[in-house]
Amino acid sequence: MIEKVILDQQTVLPSEVLAKIDKHIAKFPPEHKRSAMIGALTVVQHFNKGYLTVALMDAVADYLDMPEIAVYEVASFYSMFETEEVGENSISVCTNVSCMLRGADAILHHIENRLGIQVGQSTEDGKFYLKQEEECLAACCNAPMMQINHEYYENLTPEKVDEILDQFK
């Protein structure tokens, strides 16, 4: 596991993070380097165990050669970026129409009971964050579903959820 690192403004991002960002940069023409911002922020958020800090966003701005405020704008706009400290593993349970009809509410309650937190909260040990998910996560065919750290887990039952969460112990 990577140690949790809080970078100050002077610190540059570690080379393994930069290598991942470079892969996103390579997808765009060199003069449109800034298009790699969402990819870069995702990499940095995972690296920092689930959330972004101002210092990290500044480092991304510096690396992509753009104004810092432009990074804050993107990070604060998209719901998959966390700009405040949250639990390490982010769980999003879809409760939109298809999932709701297939029992998403029960799945959500099960997770709440198991972790002892409400939607929107993080566990005290900082392991889990149960995110308030507003939108359909686009896996209706295998409803109900949830995302953990932006990975999909589908056709859920309470038992299956327990098995999955056990892996994150």
Partner 1 sequence: MTDDIITIEIDGRTLQARKGQTVIQVADEAGIHIPRFCYHKKLSVAANCRMCLVEMEKAPKPVAACATPVMAGMKIKTRSEQAREAQKGVMEFLLINHPLDCPICDQGGECELQDLALGYGKDVSRFTEAKRVVFDEDIGPLVSTDMTRCIHCTRCVRFGEEIAGLRELGATGRGENMRIGTYVKKAMASELSGNVIDVCPVGALNNKPYRFSARTWELSQHAVISPHDCVGSNFYLHTLRGKVQRAVPRENEAINETWLADRDRFSCHGIYSEQRIAQPQLKERGKWRKVSWDEAIEVTVERLQSVIASRGSETIGALISPSATLEEHYLFQCLLRGIGSSNIDHRLQQCDFSHDETMPVAPWLGMDLNAVENLQAVLIVGGNPRKDQPLLGHRLRKAALRGAAIMYVNHRAYDLNHLAEQYLAATCDDLVIQLAAIAKALMQKTNRAVPDALQGLLEQVEVDEQQKTIAENLHKADRALVLIGSQASLSPLYSYIVALSHCIASLASVSFGTIHIGANATGACLAGALPHRKVAGTADEQPGLSAHKMLQSARRAYLLFNVEPELEAWDTATAHRAMHEAEAIIAISNFASPTMREYADILLPLASFAETDGTYINAEGRWQSFTAAAKIQDDAQPGWKILRLLADRLNVSDLAFNSAAAISKVLREQCRNVVLNNTVANIKLPQHDFSAHNRRLQRIADIPIYSTDAVVRRSLPLQQTIDGMEADKASIHPQTAAEYKLETSEYVSVTQNGNTIEFSLQLNEAIPEGCIWIGLGVPGTEALGPAFGDIEVSAS
Give the binding site for partner 1 (CB under 8 A): 54, 67-70, 72-73, 76-77
Q: How far is the CB of 78 from partner 1 (least distance, A)?
A: 8
Q: How far is the CB of 82 from partner 1 (least distance, A)?
A: 14
Q: Cα angle vertex 48, ends 126, 122, to 5°? A: 25
Quick one: 14 or 67, whose CB is closer to partner 1? 67
Q: Which of 125, 134 has the CB closer to partner 1?
A: 134
38 versus 72: smaller Cβ distance to partner 1? 72
CB closer to partner 1, 69 vs 141: 69
Q: Are 2 and 47 in contact (CB under 8 A)?
A: yes
Least separation in angstroms between residue 42's CB and partner 1 is 17
| 130 sits in which H/E element | strand 128-131
Reading the block at residue 19, the tokens are: 């290598």
Q: In the complex, what is the shortest distance from the CB of residue 135 to partner 1, in angstroms, rounded to a whole number?
A: 12
What single-letter DSSP state applies at residue 58?
A: H
Using an 8 Å Cβ cutoff, are 144 and 104 in contact?
yes
Type of residue at 162: D
Give the shortest CB-21-to-partner 1 separation in angstroms: 21
Q: Which is nearer to partner 1, 70 or 119 (CB)?
A: 70
* Complete DSSP assignment for 76-121: HHSTT---S---SEEEEE--SHHHHHTTHHHHHHHHHHHHT--TT-
